[in-house]
Amino acid sequence: MVETIQWTDGGVVMIDQTRLPLEEAYVTCRTYQEVATAIRDMIIRGAPAIGVAAAMGVALGALHADGGDLDRQMDAVCETLAGTRPTAVNLFWAIDRMKRLYASMRGKPVEEIRRALVEEALRVREEDIEICRAIGRNGAPLVPDHATVLTHCNAGALATAGYGTALGVIRAAIESGKKIDVFAGETRPFLQGARLTTWELVQDGIPCTLITDNMAGHFLKSGRIGCVVVGADRIAANGDVANKIGTYPVAVLAMENNVPFYVAAPISTLDLTLAEGGQIPIEERAACEVTHIFGRRVAPDGVEVRNPAFDVTPARYVAAIVTERGVARAPYEESLRKLVERP
Ligand code: MRU
């Protein structure tokens, strides 16, 4: 399995997701500022992977803090990392987890604090892989045998510390003996589906077909798709799901064609402080991601552009939300809260 992100003596090493699949290159982040840049520039992306990167960024920040006011320096580290991408709540979840540990160690020797923060960041990474496997185990029974699964964006090993959430469900279904294949939507403008999901699946020998985003309705209507499985960046208390732009139309088309639409995500992606999806901050990215493809202009100079990176799928389109603690179904206010409160 591909290593998305690793802690090494030389720094935080990430596979460069802007260069896949043409090049398998690795980037080493030696400072927390470099980790923040890697998150913002999508060298690493995908909600859980962003969380792991942020945790490691906080640990790097502590390692490189000078002899001055550590509290003030740690605040600056956390603020910089929190300012990278606004939608995936896993980013804030991971920073809060590191902050809580730091606060609990106030007054301890700096070396001890540094060691503890590094260990915690490594734990966030290890736990993420275990969580993905549990999501896979819980979701596999939902996938019909001898069916095609449609997915959008990349919610695979590359979007996590390993194994994936939506692709974790697909991997676990195959490991349980089911014969399934995958349709991957290309996911304009960053092409996570075309570049990353297909790369992962081809590497694993999982049968996979690439389609453009505007083909989803055609194939959902054809009867070929047994279910849709996608990941999530933030899930509100009522079950509304923010995920990669283009997820919402897939969900609507799935319901129209009686195809179940499943969301696979860790508990750390739930944001029960938000009552509904309209409150989720949606990242707006640079216009050049839309006007250009691989650095080549495809739209006229000066044209107005919108580039929201995520959309919100209302809970009524979501057949189930698969987490590491179990499967939630409507009414989500109740079922999600129960999962969160479960020890
Ligand atoms: O902009 P990205 O590539 O970070 O967006 C990723 C997604 O939307 C994924 O579906 C989501 O983060 C879940 S990843 C397990």
At 123 the pLDDT is 98
* CA 124 / ligand 1 centre spacing (Å): 18
pLDDT band at 68 (very low <50, low <70, confident <90, very high): confident
* pLDDT confidence of residue 67: 78
Instruction: Name which of 283, 291, 149 is nearest 224 in CA terms.
Output: 149
Task: Tell me if residue 316 falls in helix, strand or coil.
Answer: helix
E strands in 256-336: 261-264, 270-271, 292-293, 296-297, 310-313, 320-323, 326-328
What separation in Å is there between the alpha carbon of 71 and the centre of ligand 1?
A: 32
Please say if 301 is a catalytic residue: no
Q: Is 234 helix (H, G, I), strand (E, B) or coil?
A: strand
Q: Is the model's pLDDT at 93 over the cut of 80?
A: yes
Is the shortest distance between the CB of 245 and ligand 1 below 6 Å? no
155 Cβ below 6 A of ligand 1:
yes
Q: Which of 2, 14, 154, 245 to mutate to test the pocket of ligand 1 (most atoms within 8 A of CB)?
A: 154
Backbone dihedral angles phi then psi of residue 31, each to the nearest 5 degrees: -130, 165
Contacts of residue 235, defined as CB under 8 A and 6 or more positions apart, other chains included, come to 241, 242, 263, 265, 269, 270, 271, 321, 336
Cα 23 to averaged position of ligand 1 atoms, centre (Å)? 21
Distance (angstroms) between ligand 1 centre and the Cα of 297 equals 25
Residue nearest to atom 6 of ligand 1 (CA): 46
pLDDT per residue over 185-208, tens digit each?
A: 999 999 999 999 999 999 999 999
Ligand 1 atom nearest residue 264's Cα: 15
Q: Is residue 165 in contact with ligand 1, taking CB distance under 6 Å?
A: yes
Locate the domains of the chain by residue range.
5-133, 138-341
Q: Which of 5, 84, 244 to mutate to test the pocket of ligand 1 (most atoms within 8 A of CB)?
A: 244
Superfamily (CATH) of domain 138-341: Translation initiation factor eif-2b; domain 2 (3.40.50.10470)
Nearby residues of 44 by Cβ (< 8 Å), 6 or more positions away: 4, 5, 14, 17, 38, 50, 53
- 184 pocket-lining for ligand 1 (C-beta < 6 Å): no
Q: How far is the CA of 252 from the centre of ligand 1 (A)?
A: 19
Per-chain mean pLDDT for the chain: 97
What's the rounded mean pLDDT across residues 41-47? 98
β-pairing, 310-313 with 241-244? antiparallel
Atom of ligand 1 nearest to the CA of 164: 15
Torsion of CA 150, 151, 157, 159, to 10 degrees: 180
Q: Using the atom order of ligand 1, give the atom closest to the CA of residue 90.
A: 12
What is the pLDDT averaged over residues 87-102?
98
Strands across the sheet containing 26-29: 5-8, 11-15, 26-29
Q: How confident is the model at residue 236, as a pLDDT?
A: 98
Q: Is 332 helix (H, G, I), strand (E, B) or coil?
A: helix
Exactly one of 9, 66, 69, 233 is catalytic; name it.
Answer: 233
CA distance 188 to 293: 10
Topology, domain 5-133: Four Helix Bundle (Hemerythrin (Met), subunit A) (1.20.120)
* In the predicted structure, residue 1 carries a pLDDT above the cut 80: no
CA dihedral 37→40→43→49, nearest 10 degrees, is 110
Q: Is the CB of 45 under 6 A from ligand 1?
A: yes
